[in-house]
């Protein structure tokens, strides 16, 4: 069983977002548990991230991967890190350089999204990553 | 008043998606009307697209823009095309080369998303584009 934590800024829990996320969490539950940790400030987010042994930053400056590459990346990182992985989604100002140093940076898009949408895209890509690795028809 | 049509494959209307889209449509209604046209097959999608004078294809092979560039692009296209614009979202196999020829291709991400998520991202970016052009704080 894999465990993925997603640290993100986020004051609100929109009902539509919860419904959409739950759909993917339900489909993933036999394979991976996803835990969301929402913080009120960037400062809190960075404090929490610093306590992690290592994490993946979602950052506009990060490497742009397609879904197949993200699938390979995700499975490889989970392998390397004992089936546990943490993603950190920065706020609109991005994460501090201090925090990003020595971490892996990936980018979902060159566009800026709301943190709500970013969470949903990330979870959908995680689901897609496992479907790709299983060779299912979801991504076709 | 601007008018934007979004042509997309899509058999289902998830309630969460409708709620999320409605939030942006409500915020945009003083500026732009967005009309969604959903088709059941790629063939129907291409037939409808062919009837448009010109349209923007969302395609993995398209140009990757950041949100500021998309804002400039959107406003310029609306200016050129008499305040009306059509976007076509291809299915997983993408749109045929015949259809894409002579059209403008842009890419939201190098990743593949579901058509539901693509619609939401596009509408959020359209809202963001107008906020950027107004100099609001939404995108900060």
Tens-digit pLDDT profile for residues A112-127: 999 999 999 999 999 9
* Mode of pairing for the β-strands spanning A56-64 and A104-107: parallel
pLDDT over 80 (residue A21) = yes
Residue A87 maps to a domain = yes
The answer to whether position A90 is within a domain reads: yes
Q: Is A12 on the interface with B (CB under 8 A)?
A: no
- Whether residue B79 is contained in a domain is answered as yes
Whole-structure pTM value: 0.94
Query: Burial of B25 by CB count in 10 Å (0-12 exposed, 13-18 middle, 19+ buried)?
Result: middle
How many folded domains does chain A comprise?
1
**For position B64, which CATH number holds?**
3.40.1280.10
Question: B55 CB contacts (<8 Å, ≥6 apart)?
Answer: B7, B49, B85, B86, B87, B88, B103
Domain encompassing residue A39 = 2-134
Pick from A78-87, A101-110, B131-140: least confident: B131-140
Cβ of A17 under 8 Å from any chain B Cβ? yes
Whether residue B140 lies inside any domain: the answer is no
Q: Is residue B139 part of a domain?
A: no
Question: Residue A20 domain-assigned?
Answer: yes
Give the number of residues written for chain A.
140
- At A122, which helix (H) or strand (E)? helix A115-134
Among candidates B20, B65, B114 on the partner chain, residue whose Cβ is nearest the Cβ of A110: B65
Report whether pLDDT(A100) > 90.
no
Q: From A20, which residue of chain B is nearest by alpha-carbon distance?
A: B16
Tell me: the pLDDT tens digits for B29-88?
Answer: 999 999 999 999 888 999 999 999 889 999 888 999 999 999 999 999 999 999 999 999
Mutate to test the interface with B, among A109, A116, A139 (most CBs of B within 10 A): A109
Q: How far apart are CA B22 and CA B120, in angstroms?
A: 10
Phi, psi for residue A102 in degrees, rounded to 5 = 70, 5
Instruction: Kindly tell me if the per-residue pLDDT of B13 is higher than 80.
Output: no
Residue A140 lies in a domain: no
**C-alpha–C-alpha distance, residues B74 and B17, integer Å:** 23
């Amino acid at each position: 069983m894999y465990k993925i934590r997603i640290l993100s800024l986020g004051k609100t829990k929109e009902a539509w977002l919860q419904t959409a996320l739950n759909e993917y969490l339900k489909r993933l539950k036999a394979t991976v548990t996803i835990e969301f940790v929402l913080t009120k400030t960037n400062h809190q987010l960075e404090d929490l991230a610093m306590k992690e042994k290592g994490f993946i930053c979602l950052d506009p400056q990060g490497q742009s991967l397609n879904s197949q590459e993200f699938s390979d990346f995700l499975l490889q990182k989970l392998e390397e890190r004992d089936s546990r992985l943490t993603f950190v989604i920065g706020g609109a100002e991005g994460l501090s350089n201090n925090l990003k140093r020595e971490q892996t940076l990936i980018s979902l898009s060159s566009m800026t999204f709301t943190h709500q949408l970013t969470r949903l895209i990330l979870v959908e890509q995680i689901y897609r990553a496992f479907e790709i690795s299983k060779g299912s028809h979801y991504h076709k």
